[in-house]
Amino acid sequence: MKTKTLFGLFPLVVGLPLAAHAKLNVVTTTPDFAAVAKAIGGDRVDVTALAKPTEDPHFVDAKPSLILKLNKADVLIEGRAELEIGWLPALLQGVRNPRIAIGAPSRVLASEVVELVEVPTTLDRSRGDVHAVGNPHFMIDPVNAVLVARRIADAFCSLDPAAAEAYRSNLKTFSDRLDAKLAEWQKLLAPFKGQRVVAYHNSWPYFARRFGLQIDLFLEPKPGLPPTPAHLADVMAKMKESEARVIIVQPYLNRRTAESVARNTGAVVVDVADFPGAVKGTEDDYVKFMDHLVVSLANALGQSSAKKP
Ligand SMILES: [Zn+2]
């Protein structure tokens, strides 16, 4: 009789609770990692980004509610390379969660799988430079996004081997989709090869290299330091010399400073997002985010070239 009862219960016990508990609870620092994690994990993961898409990734508000999210995480994905040094270590001090300890398979340090650029030969934070160990904005390059996606797939496979085939298949879909789009994006920006674009903050070396643009003039004198009149005067002189007519600004930076530089140089200010979700319709989707960025920039460069005397 006992056996019969067990057999009777078995399908119910196995069928219901497993489906509900099998999801990996993934926390990422910024929304770009979240979008990639969703692409790889699909409906097998719940993903939360700690930073908002319109928030400066260097200066995220370390609210106590974020500690609660980290305490529940099965996986933590961060950029590292000091991108989050101003806020993540402070949050982690309040976290008691061995699953995401450094060295655990569930702690993904994305910058480990990409080649950082602008790595200084000596460490110098003395003047407030927030890129002291190299440029941490490597996700604004689709090729790096695929490298990070592969690392995330490895982590998911090791934590949830039963679904490894699905993670691998999602990785292939993501990678194929980006490959196809990359060719399209490169074609769109090809007419502007070598053109100089001015940026407020130096988030763009990986993007510039991938698409053949020159993004090497910044309104900030050093990453993380506010613009000064002397520095802006120097930038404006260089913009006039090189006929640079586009200034790109992220939503969390001071647009008015960019507008005043634009007025003095005949340039235009272009609002660009550096994270999925900052622009409506790009939520949780790295490809849509990158598509919006490339198309906005190509349109602005096209219009500014047409205006040239
Ligand atoms: Zn930065």
CA of 150 to the centre of ligand 1 (A): 24
Q: Which residue bears the tokens 């003047």?
A: 127
CA of 292 to the centre of ligand 1 (A): 20
Q: What percent of the chain has pLDDT over 70?
A: 92
CA of 215 to the centre of ligand 1 (A): 14
Compute the chain's Rg from CA coordinates: 22
CA of 202 to the centre of ligand 1 (A): 6
Q: 240: part of which helix (H) or strand (E)?
A: helix 229-242
**Where along the chain do its domains lie?**
19-182, 192-307
CA of 222 to the centre of ligand 1 (A): 10
pLDDT number for residue 15: 35
CA of 103 to the centre of ligand 1 (A): 25
Q: Do domains 19-182 and 192-307 have the same CATH topology?
A: yes
CATH architecture for residues 19-182: 3-Layer(aba) Sandwich (3.40)
CA of 119 to the centre of ligand 1 (A): 13
CA distance 191 to 165: 41
Which residue type occupies 46? D
CA of 107 to the centre of ligand 1 (A): 22
CA of 15 to the centre of ligand 1 (A): 47
CA of 126 to the centre of ligand 1 (A): 16
pLDDT number for residue 1: 40
CATH architecture for residues 192-307: 3-Layer(aba) Sandwich (3.40)
147's CB contacts (< 8 A; 6+ apart) are 113, 114
pLDDT number for residue 21: 53
Residues of the chain with pLDDT under 50: 1-20
CA of 129 to the centre of ligand 1 (A): 9
CA of 276 to the centre of ligand 1 (A): 17
Q: Are 278 and 35 in contact (CB under 8 A)?
A: no
**HSE on the CB side for 288, CA within 13 Å?**
12
Helices (H), 52-163: 64-71, 88-92, 142-159
First to last CA, the chain: 93
CA of 134 to the centre of ligand 1 (A): 10
CA distance 124 to 59: 19
CA of 124 to the centre of ligand 1 (A): 15
Helices (H), 190-271: 205-211, 229-242, 255-265
pLDDT number for residue 126: 64
Give this prediction's pTM: 0.92
